Amino acid sequence: MNLAGMRENIMGRNLCCWIVLASFASSNSALAQPGAGDQVKSEGQLVQDLSGYRWKLKRMRPGQGIREGLHELPQADIETLVWMPARVPGDVYTDLWKAGALDDPYFGRNSVKAQWVMYDEWWYSLQFNVSEDLSGKVVRLEFDGVDYGCEVWLNGHALGRHEGMFSPFSFDVSHLIDADKDWHKGRNMLMVKLDPPPQVNHKVAGLKTPWFGDYWRDLVPFGIWRPVRLVATGKVRVDDLYVKSKLNADGSADVEVEVTLENHSDRNCDVSLPITLQGQNFSGPQHTGKIQASVEPGLQTLKTSIPIDQPELWWPWDLGKPNLYTAKLRVEEGDEVHDRSKTTFGIRQIKMDWNPGFTRDEVSYPRTVKLNGKNHFIRSACWGGPPDIFVGRTSPKEYKTLIDLAKAANMNNIRIFGWHPPEIPEFYQYCDEVGLTVWQDVIPLGTANISQEKAFVERIYAEAEATIKERRNHPSLILIEGGEEAFLRASDPQFTKRFLEELGRRLQQHVDLPYVPDSPLTCPIAQSVGYKPKEAVHALSYFYSMGKWLMEDWYSSLDFPIVPELAITSVPSVESLKKFIPEDELWPPGPSWGHHWADFHRLRMQNFDTFGDQRTGSLEEFVAATQDAQGTIFQLSVEHFRRAKPRCSGIALCHFITYWPDMKWAIVDNYQQPKRSYRYVQRGYQPLLVNLQFDRRRWKQDETFIGKVWIVNDTYQEYNDCKIKLEVLDENSTRLHEQSMEVAHIRKDSSSELTEIHWKIAGQVETQFHIQLSLLDREGESLSQNQYMLLIGDQAEARNRMKAMGQEKSSSNNVFTYGNYYRYFPDMIQQNDNDWQSQTQMPRADLSAPE
């Protein structure tokens, strides 16, 4: 290949096309593949997406990159072509793994071997061409998010520094960008230096996702985790567009459009902003408005209100249709269009009611969500995301799969809690579209003991404000919180209270949503500063104090207005295990199980509680049992809380997913595969639910089983002339008993006990029996199905057995601490000062502990 051909080939690979936001047509297909080659020209705004696989990556010791002069490389320098390939959005670990510099950190115990990565700085470079004429334009380089600290150069010019994972930032590069149709005149070099990531959360809490907790090992993620783009506009650009609505008593709505403009010229600009509101996923009339103003240099916020007589409201899927609107506007000055913007929004109203049955001496905050005037009982799970802690491994397609799975599990809400970051736009988009509400800790404050330095606290407030402003147009976002278990660890609870309450005040200046300072607020430390004993419950004690109760003794004792966390663990499927556990460690389990947080004491104990047996006979038996145990505990607990409505107004399981392959909380594993427990949750979360209440799962062969039949209806549909069919089956699915019950009327938004049933066991089963319930409409069509597995056994004996196993667990924890998996692998433990047990083969977990 000759030199000219080589140049053409190199520049062709690095060419980034301009995507021009050309019109407000409903079809946006030209923009569906940023950087794919589509070019559309129009007046107004031009966007060049700099994301994708054109980036390069290089390792440097801290401070070495600047000493070597990497930031001064010429625009057309080919040196970076031999750097490692990289992708933006992404992360350093994934780029290194794909390049072969790392073994997969998710596999086995490889994450320990990857810790060297987080002690160096990493340079990302991008060579790109700009072929459009940008004369007279304001050109900005926009970063949606960098984790955590970075410095940026364009064409050798220092643009600035940014710290904070969640806040977007940008630079004016109008006088630095080279633009020309001639490739050698329109070439540019972008350099981004990533600092080594922080190692102490205390100093960055709220500004970065925590990298610790009992489902991750100490490997700190970092990278350019969100898109980068170049944006060119006229002198008056749209800085922010916020659309909110108010419902009126007559059924109409007022849509308030708030737009912040930035005038980059040195004069007042007399602008006109025509606005259109149009149904996005439904047919309806277009609504219009206009703002006219003289905009001074700098930032200025303008507002107008557009009335809609018959609005199509946004609803969660179980209460109605998730109707969405698109708001579009242009910034015009005479015949010139300076800029344009659009956003999706929904018309809906959120208010909070006090939960009946709790006094103001017991709770400080109302916990019942009223959405458009209807009670929205929250059937949720903590997201546990992002889908991968190394964000370069995931994609919007994976998000869509997971959101669809959440809805298919009958969830109507997702909770993003304070150990995990605010999510990418696609997450909220998919929730908007399918009708899932979002309950969110705005930034991750999964700790209390943040620095009290005033400047640092102000940085947290600023990060939170930027985060909520970016997401506030999404109608799915209905609840916001400040901290997560902050008071549990607070060394200065008075400061923590002031900080979290001020955080709420700052957030509510930007969004009209209910706010609670922390979850759960019921611990002694929170109560010491004035919060009440029944605020909420993190239903985690069955797991962390396992052995203290049988499951039904535990969940039946809980009585709270809302349950932000309900936790139990399980092991992924055998198929999924093979993807991250080495073959020689699969069974009996090797240390990689422990590294991925398998707690064999608790897994065996919850199996015993569920089945009367620890189920350790084979890999397949053990895995299935842990998932069925998780599902059983989730289902029975969920049904307990749902029967308590309206006294109780919501539940969030802990978790829906987790962000790497582990042996912990999720009901959908890291490979998007639902566990068996998913089906139990799906049953327990049916909006219309027939269910059975019983005070114990173990019955003797000479007893009469006693249970109560309930119907819980979270919908606003009423049902008449229904029937419930009940069947009792033995271990072999042979029917032992059958009876029917008439249900004349099922009220909307209700929970009702219907009848008590009695069945004489009379020695008809040896080990277990099953009860199936069917709710049928007047035509015999199924409205709800449910089922339960109960045991033949002695309840008192089982309680004693659980307590004994709990004592064994506690004794082990006292030696090794929670999370130290060496206890399960004797060959890994030093026996004395001089000798180690033989490690000629991989250590194995001992699962043969007596019951």
728, 761 Cβ separation under 8 angstroms: no
The answer on pLDDT for 751 being more than 70 is yes
The token pair at 187 is 């070439």
Which carries the bigger pLDDT value, residue 430 or residue 32?
A: 430
Which residue bears the tokens 């030199």?
Answer: 3
- d(C-alpha 486, C-alpha 484), whole Å: 5
Residue 22 pLDDT grade (very low, low, confident, very high; cuts 50, 70, 90)? very low
Q: How far apart are CA 122 and CA 128, in angstroms?
A: 20
Of 686, 684, 704, which is closest to residue 694 (Cα–Cα)?
704
Q: What's the 3-state SS for 417-436?
A: CCCCCCCCHHHHHHHHHHCC
Q: Is the dihedral of CA 63, 65, 68, 74 positive or negative?
A: negative
pLDDT at 7: 36
Q: Which residues have CB under 8 Å from 578's CB, separation 6+?
A: 586
Confidence tier at 388 by pLDDT (50, 70, 90): very high
Residues 6+ away with beta carbon under 8 Å from 780: none
pLDDT of 842 reads 76
Give mean pLDDT, residues 164-170: 96
End-to-end CA distance of the chain: 74
Tell me, what's the pLDDT at 385? Answer: 86
Tell me what the mean pLDDT of segment 350-373 comes to.
Answer: 97
pLDDT digits (tens, 9 = 90+) for 61-95: 999 999 999 999 988 788 888 999 999 999 999 99
> What was the pLDDT predicted at 34?
30
For the chain, how many residues are written? 851
Distances from the Cα of 809 to the Cα of 549, 588, 709, 836, angstroms: 14, 20, 37, 24
Chain position carrying tokens 């650009």: 237
Return the CA Rg of the chain: 29
Q: Which of 637, 651, 438, 446 is nearest to 562 (CA)?
A: 651
Residue 247 is predicted with a pLDDT of: 97
Task: Report DSSP state, residue 348.
Answer: -
266 vs 235: CA distance, rounded Å: 10
CATH architecture of 380-573+630-681: Alpha-Beta Barrel (3.20)
Considering the four listed CATH numbers 3.40.1230.10, 3.40.630.10, 2.160.10.10, 2.60.120.260, the one that applies to the domain covering 13-26+36-233 is: 2.60.120.260
Per-residue confidence (pLDDT) for residue 18, from 0 to 100: 45
Cα distance between residue 607 and residue 571, in whole Å: 12
Query: 269-303 in b/e burial notation, b at 16+ Cβ within 10 A?
Result: bebebebbbbbbeeeeeebebebebebeeeebeee
What value does the mean pLDDT take over residues 477-498? 94
Strand partners, 437: 413
Cα dist from 395 to 450, 637, 816, 842, whole Å: 32, 33, 39, 36
pLDDT beyond 70 at 40 = no
| Predicted pLDDT at 847 | 83
Residue 727 scores a pLDDT above 90 = yes
Q: What is the mean pLDDT of residues 791-797?
A: 97
Q: Which CATH class is domain 236-345?
A: mainly beta
Q: Which has the minimum average pLDDT: 165-169, 214-218, 581-585?
A: 214-218
> Is the confidence at residue 166, as pLDDT, over 60?
yes
Q: Which residues neighbour 673 within 8 Å (Cβ) at sequence distance 6 or greater?
A: 572, 573, 575, 576
Write the class of the CATH domain 690-795.
mainly beta
Mean pLDDT of 193-220: 92
C-beta of residue 414 within 8 angstroms of C-beta of residue 431: yes
What was the pLDDT predicted at 452?
93
Nearby residues of 471 by Cβ (< 8 Å), 6 or more positions away: 422, 425, 428, 477
Q: CA torsion, points 393, 397, 398, 402, in degrees to nearest 10?
A: 160
Give the whole-angstrom CA distance, residue 1 versus residue 674.
52
What's the pLDDT at 849? 59
Distance separating alpha carbons of residues 322 and 435, to the nearest angstrom: 5
Q: How far apart are CA 610 and CA 552, in angstroms?
A: 10
Confidence of residue 42 (pLDDT cuts 50, 70, 90): low
Confidence label for 347 from pLDDT (cuts 50, 70 and 90): very high
Instruction: Give the pLDDT confidence score for residue 3 in this predicted structure.
Output: 38
Contacts of 58 (CB under 8 A, 6+ apart): 65, 70, 80, 83, 84, 122, 123, 125
- Closest by CA position to 57, among listed 224, 236, 205, 220: 224
Q: Which segments of the chain belong to CATH 2.60.40.10?
A: 236-345, 690-795
What are the distances in angstroms from CA 704 to CA 301, 494, 504, 734, 789?
71, 54, 54, 19, 16
Neighbours of 779 (CB within 10 A): 6
Q: Is 800 helix (H, G, I), strand (E, B) or coil?
A: helix
- Using 50, 70 and 90 to split pLDDT, how confident is the model at 234? very high
* Local structure of 197: helix, strand or coil: coil
pLDDT of residue 17: 41
Least confident of 115-129, 211-225, 750-764: 211-225
Q: Over the stretch 661-692, which tens digit does the pLDDT of each residue have?
A: 999 999 999 999 999 999 999 999 999 999 99
What pTM was computed for the model?
0.94
For the ranges 25-34, 47-56, 438-447, 724-733, the lowest mean pLDDT is seen at 25-34
User: Between 822 and 428, where is the model more confident?
Assistant: 428
Listed in sequence order, the DSSP H helices in 435-511 are: 454-471, 493-507
Q: How far is CA 382 from the centre of its chain?
A: 7
Q: Kindly report the average pLDDT of the chain as a whole number.
A: 92
| 136: pLDDT strictly greater than 60 | yes
Q: How far apart are CA 298 and CA 264, in angstroms?
A: 6
Q: Where does the pLDDT of residue 831 fall: very low under 50, low under 70, confident under 90, or very high at 90 and above?
A: low
Q: Give pLDDT, residue 817.
A: 86
Q: Which amino acid is at 416?
A: I
Instruction: Please check whether residue 450 is in contact with residue 482, taking contact to mean a CB–CB distance below 8 angstroms.
Output: no
What one-character DSSP code corresponds to residue 92? Answer: H
Give the residue-averaged pLDDT of 308-337: 97
Other C-beta atoms lying within 10 Å of the C-beta of residue 394: 21
- Indicate where the chain has its CATH 2.60.120.260 domain(s): 13-26+36-233
Q: Return the biggest CA–CA distance within the chain.
A: 92
Answer for the pair 474, 428: CB distance below 8 angstroms, yes or no.
Answer: yes
Asked if the bond preceding 655 is cis, omega within 30° of 0, the reply is yes
Average pLDDT for residues 799-805, to the nearest whole number? 96
**Residue 342: pLDDT over 70:** yes
Range of weakest confidence among 9-23, 633-647, 836-850: 9-23
